[in-house]
Amino acid sequence: MKINLRSFLTIVITILVVFGLLIVTDIITKPIIENNEMKLKIEEYSEILDDIDTIETLTISEEFVSDAQKAVNDKGEIIGYLFTASKDNQWGSILIRMAVSANGEIIGVTSVVDQSLSADETKAYITKFIGSKIESPEALDGSTGPTTRDSVLTAEELIGSISKAFISLEIEPDLTEIELIYGKGAVATLDDSFTGNELVLMKEDIYLEDTYLGSLYLLKGTGIYHQTNEGSLEYKVALDEDLNILGFIEIEY
């Protein structure tokens, strides 16, 4: 069969136009679809974590964990890590959604327990993990869950998978303002023997376990600005053990 040049060019041009339209359509619709999918996930995860503005998908290779997200608020701050894990057992299936802080604390959890036995008891058991550390999760009231052991084992297996997924991210924990100055693990202890005055209100000693690192002094000053307005500034000055200034923590302005 012979095809003349004009027909051939017409076919080629038609194919190119259609292909180009498909590419343009994909370019336009793909971000819309992705944005709608993100909104749907945010809606689902908002049951367990407040103030989610955007989420970022994390790559996880952990059995039973089907989704992992980093949650960010409207200030651009990371407010938690979100996970979904699910598994079937002989009574049905269990799905768990969990929110974990950067410090590794379970701060929210919800579950869908589609089982013929112990569904409500299993859901109640799963919520008791809120407040525990994801590295070693446990029901904080010491309960062992419903008598249907398959339900308990499935729930614990899913939580264990989420634990492994979180650990694999190797997230640096949030540091307190004191830790940012003195180092991770530093804590403040109020010095009750300190006598302050109208400018120096309080003194705290900083320790890392039993090692003294320095002291924090709470200072307050007042003054006039814009000629007639009176204002105050309250902040802590951080000193090391040799009384060198390490930094400042603003309390009130």
119-148 pLDDT, tens per residue? Answer: 999 999 999 999 999 999 999 887 777 877
Boundaries of every domain in the chain: 1-45, 47-168, 177-252
Determine the pLDDT at residue 22.
Answer: 61
**Which has the closest alpha carbon to 208: 245, 183, 240, 191?**
183
Determine the pLDDT at residue 236.
Answer: 87
Q: Helices 119-127 and 149-168 meet at what angle, rounded to 10?
A: 30
Name which residue leads in pLDDT, 184 or 50: 50
Counting Cα atoms < 13 Å in the Cβ hemisphere of 19 gives: 6
What is the pLDDT confidence band of residue 177, given thresholds at 50, 70 and 90?
Answer: confident
- pLDDT over 90 at 35, yes or no: no
Q: Which of 8-17, 138-147, 161-170, 227-236 has the highest mean pLDDT?
A: 161-170
Mean pLDDT over 208-222 rounds to: 88
Determine the pLDDT at residue 71.
Answer: 94
Global pTM value: 0.61
Mean pLDDT over 215-224 rounds to: 80
Instruction: Find out if CATH 3.90.1010 is the number for domain 47-168.
Output: yes
**Which has the closest alpha carbon to 156: 168, 133, 135, 138?**
138
Would you state the structure tokens that stand for residue 87, as one six-digit string?
Answer: 């598994």
